[in-house]
């Protein structure tokens, strides 16, 4: 099904040179004398690479039909991540390259959305936040909360996040999976 550049919005998947891209940003630009164009940021669904590209207004693409399925992350075995479909109980394996940066916030038993194209799993989309346990960080000192500083903390998944000084080992914190930033402490350890 063809789609025009005028219809590009974040979240839409398109085919460019038989490769599937998801639109991250689309900004319509009208110049004074010249024609209008659309400035986009696209992410390749297989490699995860992000590219910026401009298209003439009215240019058409083939829309890639993708299916999103709610899954549970079961385990990681070397460079393969195994997911369980919550409805059919089928298991799917994705490589670390397919998952990309999302791998650092995948905790066993956590929820994720697996994106499929023609019954082939392509990539994983995480919820915007994840609650993860702190397994390693320097101890905080009394009075450090006033300074507003931060310290690095290693999470159970292996990710390193900057956290306030009052966070300790064993605490459960909420992290924004899009930016990798600390949001709040959910529970003290």
Over residues 101-116, the pLDDT tens digits come to 888 999 899 999 998 9
| Domain definitions of the chain by residue range | 2-63, 67-125, 129-187
Whether the predicted pLDDT of 58 surpasses 90? no
- Between 3.40.50.2000, 2.30.30.30, 3.10.580.10, 2.40.40.20, what CATH number should domain 2-63 receive? 2.30.30.30
Q: State how far the Cα of 146 lies from the Cα of 25, in Å rounded to an integer.
A: 38
Nearest to 130 by CA among 152, 113, 99, 107: 107
Q: State how far the Cα of 72 lies from the Cα of 78, in Å rounded to an integer.
A: 18
Residue with tokens 């059919």: 88
Residue % of the chain over a pLDDT of 90: 40
- Phi, psi for 181 (deg, rounded to 5): -100, 145
User: Tell me, what's the pLDDT at 147?
Assistant: 59
In CATH terms, are 2-63 and 67-125 the same topology? Answer: no
Structure tokens at 40: 């986009």
SS3 11: coil
The CATH architecture annotation of domain 129-187 reads: Beta Barrel (2.40)
Structure tokens at 33: 């004398």
For 116-175, how does the pLDDT look when each residue is reduced to its tens digit (9 = 90+)? 988 888 888 889 999 999 999 888 655 555 556 788 999 998 899 999 988 899 999 999
Residue 9 confidence class, pLDDT cut points 50, 70, 90: confident
Quick one: fold of 67-125? OB fold (Dihydrolipoamide Acetyltransferase, E2P) (2.40.50)
Q: State how far the Cα of 157 lies from the Cα of 108, in Å rounded to an integer.
A: 9
**Inter-residue contact 50 to 43 (CB < 8 Å):** yes
**Inter-residue contact 165 to 182 (CB < 8 Å):** no
Q: State how far the Cα of 44 lies from the Cα of 29, in Å rounded to an integer.
A: 23
């Amino acid at each position: 099904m063809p789609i025009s550049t005028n219809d590009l919005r974040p979240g839409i998947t398109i085919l460019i040179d038989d490769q599937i891209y998801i639109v991250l940003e689309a900004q319509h630009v009208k110049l004074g004398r010249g024609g209008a164009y659309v400035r986009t940021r696209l992410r390749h669904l297989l490699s995860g690479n992000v590219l910026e590209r401009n298209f003439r207004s009215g240019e058409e693409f083939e829309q890639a039909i993708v299916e999103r399925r709610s899954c549970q992350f079961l385990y990681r075995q070397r460079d393969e991540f195994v997911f369980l479909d919550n409805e059919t109980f089928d298991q799917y394996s994705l490589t670390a390259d397919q998952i990309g940066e999302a791998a650092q916030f995948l905790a066993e038993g956590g929820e994720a959305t697996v994106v499929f194209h023609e019954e082939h799993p392509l990539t994983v989309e995480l919820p915007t936040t994840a609650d993860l346990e702190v397994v390693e960080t320097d101890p905080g000192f009394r009075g450090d909360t006033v300074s507003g500083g931060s310290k690095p903390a290693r999470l159970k998944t292996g990710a390193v996040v900057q956290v306030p000084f009052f966070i300790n080992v064993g605490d459960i914190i909420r992290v924004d999976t899009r930016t990798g930033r600390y949001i709040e402490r959910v529970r003290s350890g």
